[in-house]
Amino acid sequence: MMSGGHVIRPWAGISGWGVFAMTVPVDKSASYLGLPAAAPPSAEDSALAVLRRSSVLAALSTLSFRQREVIVLRYYADLSEPQIAAALGISRGAVKSHVARAKDSLREMLV
């Protein structure tokens, strides 16, 4: 399917909020070792996390469609470079190039 000149990929339905709304699994190793559980995050920590997510979403929105696509597949879908290249129909070198350029842009905007 095409949308605005872009092919809609199955993973393209992952919205920025959906990606960032995913939670990291709780490390249960402390409970297995009989250690006390970690304290829940403070209100300040939660507010800072929302600001960080907002900053990352804003930075991601400035990337080109292809750069956003490879970043999501590489770091959120955890696909390898060969898998991304095959899925997008581009060379592995192009994947590396898009990832490197996207990371450079994100670094400039977020640091």
The conformation of residue 24, written as its DSSP 8-state character, comes to P
Non-local (6+) Cβ contacts of 36 within 8 A are 30
| Rounded mean pLDDT, 27-33 | 59
Q: Is residue 96 part of a domain?
A: yes
- Mean pLDDT rounded to a whole number for the chain: 79
Total of domains in the chain = 1
Model confidence over 60-78: pLDDT tens digits? 999 999 999 999 999 989 9
**pTM, full prediction:** 0.60
Q: Is residue 48 part of a domain?
A: no
Q: What are the DSSP E strand ranges found in the chain?
A: 2-3, 6-7
**CATH (domain of 104):** 1.10.10.10
Assess if residue 30 is contained within a domain. Answer: no
Q: How far apart are CA 102 and CA 74, in angstroms?
A: 11
pLDDT recorded at residue 5: 54
More confident: 80 or 25: 80
